[in-house]
Structure 1
């Protein structure tokens, strides 16, 4: 049985308040305030204070003080224990109703990390507008929470709400979403299992091999530039050796190249060919993601929110056209010349089309689902590749070690040619499975970027009283009440000095270890859980891993990148995002093809 403890704070809290007020203001003053002489004529509080403003200030002081004292009662969970079970310690606050919202708005990262230092138990609770939000960062407790059944700790309610307020799913069709959800979840087998996963990876790998030589083209005319060049403000300059290089902004270059290369495997080649600017709106939308999650309307005077609303509208309109074409194609009708290659749409989207038709979902409902898929498939993985490229190229010794490690599995060749202008080099050999399984330094760098360049959280609504305990039987047992919220702050664990030496230092080989026979070096995730866990674990995690490895390996094999103008590599600063950090810094770089030995 879960212990039922409802603390009677009345007299105890009042006594505590009186003690603190006496200490703060002196007994004579408080006696006059709280025990005025009723026979004192014009006495009493207002006459003493002399003005209504002073009376208001004093009343406000008392209110804040009472709030602080009451909210401090569970700072140390004394008197809560019963059969080894206790409630998470509650962090005190000053403002009634609002609770810790100002702390999070001002400096969420610093606030949470200070609390991690204060509360060593791996869990504490905050108050947001009257709701109790339990912050879990111990890996054992996090795993236990992630593995709870949905009827105990629910994440689907959150997804259901966000589908509407963020991705524009029609409210009047939410019952269709509820009915279709089990079948929609089954569709994710196309991201998780063979043969669909292998086909998705192979198609992306082939497109990468065809296009990697055009990461930058040197074309100065916007008409001739590729979409990722247009967004990265490229121009041709000469380096200190007098050789022509292309200067570009690294984030949009890497992010947009990865997106334009990988997305046709999901949604087909026609979509981005018809709407190459779709991704521009996707990045604007992602920047306003958290504000959209609040449900605030477009007219609220927040520029980031307004731009996100406008970008969402444009994206949904384009996806509406795509789905009308898909509907015609499925019915054997001509979808038009702009949609002549719909057969190459990915198996996941095709499988979802069957579910949409079965449940008679509107075109807009379908579009909102596809918007959520495209956001999830791009917002984090494409930006993570940017951080991997940043980290690897910033350390020349590491860059050479990774090039040496991947060399047996990636071969870049310069085709022989008698023409005045040489053909671009190409990837002749590209063994992705060996890159993923036999390159521990590259994989460890990937894991280290997830540890330090990402700050994902998992969210649960507690539907039944729950006792949470870590892996060890001797570990503390924590009671989460029905109606509570639970947040798994993966980044608090990933930067915890109890688990990682020098946690703020990026170290490429941090996650390398030897396997059981001590003969083979391997790298794994260890205790970090960037993709969540349990039934809500990210469905695209395997593809995201292989995508990050393949793009990073291809780029470091074919391209030299250095800071524009030479000098040291300045690592861009993090900007909080929904998962992988973004940045406001414009990292300008010089990009040129590696010097390759010419064929004999």
Structure 2
């Protein structure tokens, strides 16, 4: 059986118009479920019977009508609460947020600036904003390693999907296999708790009760609806876990890397001299066009000694679904999709398709040609998209990020699949996350430390451990170090890391060290917040 690859958007569009003539090969679908998500071998026939019903439930409960708006509304509420604490500038691990604890954070200018690993920070932060509305808040709070395990799994997704042994000589594979095991255990436990909710304890007559805490089974989420379908058909817990795991992974493996690449390129492309880009940079344009939607404000301080942290409010979830909203931000996100999408989706042709030459340049001038894709042959959609997106025939200097590439035109089918029901949901998440971060925070590259600086840090840490300092001595030492750092302050340069394959979008081979500050000059709020 032959494999077909197309090299132009017009031909790819014609394939999408004949989408009913294509099917995902069962062998490929089942191999991914078996190897990557550990679907039990004896569940194949039951899964095949229920696959269309499962897909319909996911589409109805996540990607349609009021449901998609409700999910985004919930994520926007979470972002309004968590974005001001994106960086808390606390030196104590106890006082830091979960995403700060894992991102190797280091204060570089008192409580004004912090240095951290950008991808790790964004992965943990984005999962916190996205997953509670999909899975339930109790599960995401109790499973502290959820975001870390999803990232480790995605890093070695294709090695796991191929069924390679855990101890194969591939860096990171043993850790990814352990993450896979933890994820499956916790997803199995989640579905078991949804099916058999913990029995509520009856309080004693003389016991005062302020209110029972709701469990994940009490709150309607896409996974609770999916579990109702599973319970109706008596689907085993291990099968439920594999399907739920695959659903969550498909969202995070696309959204998180695209947030990272978009933010990295927006800030990097805005840092070049004004003589090259003009006074308006991609960053300033995005700030300007999203400020009425993602409204960042500075509340008045309760006391001069305790400045109030900034706040952010999102105007409406509907704005995120309008294809005409935020053209500069959408263009940057679509350009990130063009550069970093790494799908290898393959479909089998069930009814022959005739492709026609609709544009000049595919064949010789004055000639028209047709191609027939035979029944039983395959069409490599993912590979076709990658070849189109990286071809100099379609994009001038295709390896360069161009922030304004898609301002005056919608993204072509090689970038946004018209048949993917999840596109609207994922795009709304991307817009919300990137706009929110840009409105509240300034990000700059951290300078690379020399070997001498690393040695000096190690010596300082050893001396602190050898002799405990009094409060006054420690304060004086911190002040002296801050003053020394200020005098010797270096400016970093943006370096775009090498991209390696993830499940759906490429991920950075190494993390990027950045410095983050609160954005200054925010509009003042007239409402004074009271304590208590």
Normalized against structure 2, the TM-score is what? 0.78
What is the CA–CA distance in structure 2 between the aligned matches of 1:152 and 1:403, rounded to whole Å?
42
Decide whether aligned partners of structure 1 residues 174 and 599 sit closer, same or farther in structure 2, where only a CA change above 3 A counts: closer
Aligned to 2:358, which of 452, 457, 472?
472
Decide whether aligned partners of structure 1 residues 137 and 412 sit closer, same or farther in structure 2, where only a CA change above 3 A counts: same
What is the CA–CA distance in structure 1 between the aligned matches of 2:520 and 2:426, rounded to whole Å?
30
2:40 aligned partner: 170
Unaligned runs of 5+ in 1: 1-130, 514-522
Question: SS at 1:417's partner residue?
Answer: coil
Judge conservation of contact 1:256–1:382 (CA < 8 Å) in 2: no
2:518 aligned partner: 593
Judge conservation of contact 1:147–1:533 (CA < 8 Å) in 2: no
2:339 aligned partner: 452
Is structure 2 residue 256 aligned with structure 1 residue 403? no
Offset at residue 136 of structure 1 (A): 2.8
Is structure 2 residue 333 aligned with structure 1 residue 440? no
Judge conservation of contact 2:188–2:237 (CA < 8 Å) in 1: yes
What is the CA–CA distance in structure 2 between the aligned matches of 1:309 and 1:388, rounded to whole Å?
29
2:406 aligned partner: 511
1:57 aligned partner: none
Judge conservation of contact 1:268–1:344 (CA < 8 Å) in 2: no
Aligned to 1:196, which of 67, 72, 83?
67
Offset at residue 287 of structure 1 (A): 1.4
1:113 aligned partner: none
2:138 aligned partner: 270
1:96 aligned partner: none
2:505 aligned partner: 580
Offset at residue 142 of structure 1 (A): 2.4
Offset at residue 452 of structure 1 (A): 1.5
Question: SS at 1:246's partner residue?
Answer: strand
Larger relative CO (CA 8 A, sep 6+): 1 or 2? 2
1:504-558 deviations in whole A, cap 9, x for unaligned? 2211111122xxxxxxxxx521x24335344xx2x32111101110111111110
Offset at residue 321 of structure 1 (A): 1.3
Offset at residue 344 of structure 1 (A): 6.5
2:395 aligned partner: 500
Offset at residue 576 of structure 1 (A): 2.3
Offset at residue 164 of structure 1 (A): 1.4
Offset at residue 369 of structure 1 (A): 0.7
1:461 aligned partner: 348
What is the CA–CA distance in structure 1 between the aligned matches of 2:376 and 2:247, rounded to whole Å?
29
Is structure 2 residue 88 aligned with structure 1 residue 217? yes
Judge conservation of contact 2:8–2:388 (CA < 8 Å) in 1: yes
Question: SS at 1:568's partner residue?
Answer: coil
Offset at residue 502 of structure 1 (A): 2.6
Is structure 2 residue 425 aligned with structure 1 residue 540? no
Offset at residue 204 of structure 1 (A): 0.6
Judge conservation of contact 2:282–2:328 (CA < 8 Å) in 1: no
Question: SS at 2:516's partner residue?
Answer: strand
2:11 aligned partner: 141
Relative to structure 2, which stretch is displaced further, 453-462 or 202-211? 453-462
1:415 aligned partner: 299
Question: SS at 2:499's partner residue?
Answer: coil
What is the CA–CA distance in structure 2 between the aligned matches of 1:154 and 1:212, rounded to whole Å?
39
What is the CA–CA distance in structure 1 between the aligned matches of 2:343 and 2:19, rounded to whole Å?
21
1:89-133 deviations in whole A, cap 9, x for unaligned? xxxxxxxxxxxxxxxxxxxxxxxxxxxxxxxxxxxxxxxxxx743
Decide whether aligned partners of structure 1 residues 144 and 189 sit closer, same or farther in structure 2, where only a CA change above 3 A counts: same
Judge conservation of contact 1:196–1:347 (CA < 8 Å) in 2: no
Is structure 2 residue 386 aligned with structure 1 residue 491? yes
Question: SS at 1:247's partner residue?
Answer: strand
Judge conservation of contact 1:267–1:346 (CA < 8 Å) in 2: no
Offset at residue 423 of structure 1 (A): 2.3
Judge conservation of contact 2:72–2:317 (CA < 8 Å) in 1: no
Judge conservation of contact 1:326–1:335 (CA < 8 Å) in 2: no
1:564 aligned partner: 446
Question: SS at 1:265's partner residue?
Answer: helix
Judge conservation of contact 1:200–1:265 (CA < 8 Å) in 2: yes
Is structure 2 residue 51 aligned with structure 1 residue 181? yes
1:289-438 equivalences in 2 (<5 Å): 289-329=157-197, 333-334=199-200, 340-343=214-217, 345=219, 347-394=221-268, 395-396=270-271, 397-419=281-303, 420-434=305-319, 436=322, 437-438=324-325
What is the CA–CA distance in structure 2 between the aligned matches of 1:562 and 1:588, rounded to whole Å?
9
Is structure 2 residue 420 aligned with structure 1 residue 549? no
Decide whether aligned partners of structure 1 residues 559 and 359 sit closer, same or farther in structure 2, where only a CA change above 3 A counts: same
What is the CA–CA distance in structure 2 between the aligned matches of 1:429 and 1:354, rounded to whole Å?
33
What is the CA–CA distance in structure 1 between the aligned matches of 2:332 and 2:238, rounded to whole Å?
40
Greater Rg by CA: 1
1:232-261 deviations in whole A, cap 9, x for unaligned? 1001012xxx87311011111122211111
Question: SS at 2:333's partner residue?
Answer: helix
Judge conservation of contact 1:325–1:335 (CA < 8 Å) in 2: no
Offset at residue 175 of structure 1 (A): 1.2
1:273-303 deviations in whole A, cap 9, x for unaligned? 1011122111111112111222233354444
Offset at residue 307 of structure 1 (A): 2.9
What is the CA–CA distance in structure 2 between the aligned matches of 1:345 and 1:379, rounded to whole Å?
25
Offset at residue 343 of structure 1 (A): 4.8
The count of residues paired between Structure 1 and Structure 2 equals 451
